[in-house]
Amino acid sequence: MTKVNIPFIYSPIYSQLELPERHRYPIEKYRLLHDWAVRRGAQKDQWQRPVTLTWEQVAQTHCSSYIEKLKTNNFEKAEWRRIGFPWSEQLLTRSLTSAGGTAQALQMALSSSIAIHFSGGYHHAHHDWGSGFCLINDLAIACHQLLLQYPHLKIAVLDTDVHQGDGTASIFQNDPRVFTCSIHGEKNFPFSKSISDLDIPLPKGTDDSSYLNALNQALKIVESDVKPDVILYDAGVDIYTKDELGHFHISLNGLFQRDMTVLSFCRQNDIPVAAVIGGGYQRNLERLVRGHAQLLRAAYYVYTENNFELRSVVRSSEDEV
């Protein structure tokens, strides 16, 4: 098979956000994952800088009065508490850039088979309210932007973050162009769930084999009933056993197997895929980044069969559990 040069979409702005000390959000992980990829041989021509979205583009997905409140910081305290970030211009620019990155990844996937965005997965943002570190829903925005260009595409959003993709599900509830699938912790945030086209809630303590069974079940439905033209994949690593918010028992190898399963499925069925790194919450950033790096390893394995140099580089013992 021919070598695919996998586009990596990244901006240093992703890790540039001032947060209160001990804030739960691991803002450094984006830069650290970028550094990991550079150390492991990512080529200069793989890196793509995202284009920052305009508020007019965001208005294709979110309600204009909500956008106005975001821009002017005109929220009740409780509304900001639900989002979980302190307001700043930096936060707005970061959100617009990150959403632009997901839109760019989805667009690029059409021509390059795969694209990976080193941010994204802000799936708790609804049409007119934000929640759980999510101001605007990059997944939904990316779909809407692509559909403006190609109105007849069928898109599947495959969300394997441990938290349900409630915002994405509610935004596309009555939109047959986008199939939403969420595999998530049944008793985890958000405690009031939306209805996706396909929800697979799993119990606390879910292990590798039951997780992979559920994933394969979901992929079978995607293959037989949905037949998407493109997949937007949220590869959140908060399913990992050491995640502080996850409550699943998925090993590091289990994470790798999940990403291998999804990407192999896409390649075998010739479906372009854009992946975002999604959630992941550990104070131990090195371990957290190793979790996210499994997506890059899997992408190299599935899409660069003839590239032995990269294969050996990504097989270093650092990646073992």
Residues that bind Zn ion (CB under 5 A): 161, 163, 236, 238, 279
Q: What angle do CA 219, 147, 165 make, to 5 degrees?
A: 45
- H/E stretch holding 201: strand 198-202
First-last CA distance in the chain? 30
Least separation in angstroms between residue 259's CB and Zn ion is 16
Nearest CA among 54, 55, 47 for reference residue 108:
47
Q: What angle do CA 145, 65, 175 make, to 5 degrees?
A: 40
Give the CB-nearest residue to Zn ion: 279
Least separation in angstroms between residue 147's CB and Zn ion is 25
Report the distance separating Cα 143 and Cα 157, nearest Å.
9
Least separation in angstroms between residue 166's CB and Zn ion is 11
Nearest CA among 276, 284, 203 for reference residue 243:
284
Q: Decide whether 198 or 314 has the Cβ nearer to Zn ion.
A: 198
Q: Which amino acid is at 52?
A: T
Q: Decide whether 75 or 133 has the Cβ nearer to Zn ion.
A: 133
Least separation in angstroms between residue 84's CB and Zn ion is 12
Q: Which residues of 258-281 are buried (b: 16+ CB within 10 A; e: fewer)?
A: bbbbbbebbbeeebbbbbbbbbbb
Least separation in angstroms between residue 177's CB and Zn ion is 25
Contact 274, 232 (CB under 8 A): yes
Least separation in angstroms between residue 134's CB and Zn ion is 10
Q: Decide whether 47 or 133 has the Cβ nearer to Zn ion.
A: 133
Q: What SS3 class is residue 200?
A: strand
Least separation in angstroms between residue 310's CB and Zn ion is 29
State how far Cα 163 lies from the chain centre. 12
Q: Decide whether 161 or 166 has the Cβ nearer to Zn ion.
A: 161
Q: Decide whether 101 or 121 has the Cβ nearer to Zn ion.
A: 121
Q: Decide whether 87 or 133 has the Cβ nearer to Zn ion.
A: 133
**DSSP secondary structure letters along 28-70:** THHHHHHHHHHHTT--GGGEEPPPPPPHHHHTTTS-HHHHHHH
Q: Decide whether 25 or 55 has the Cβ nearer to Zn ion.
A: 25
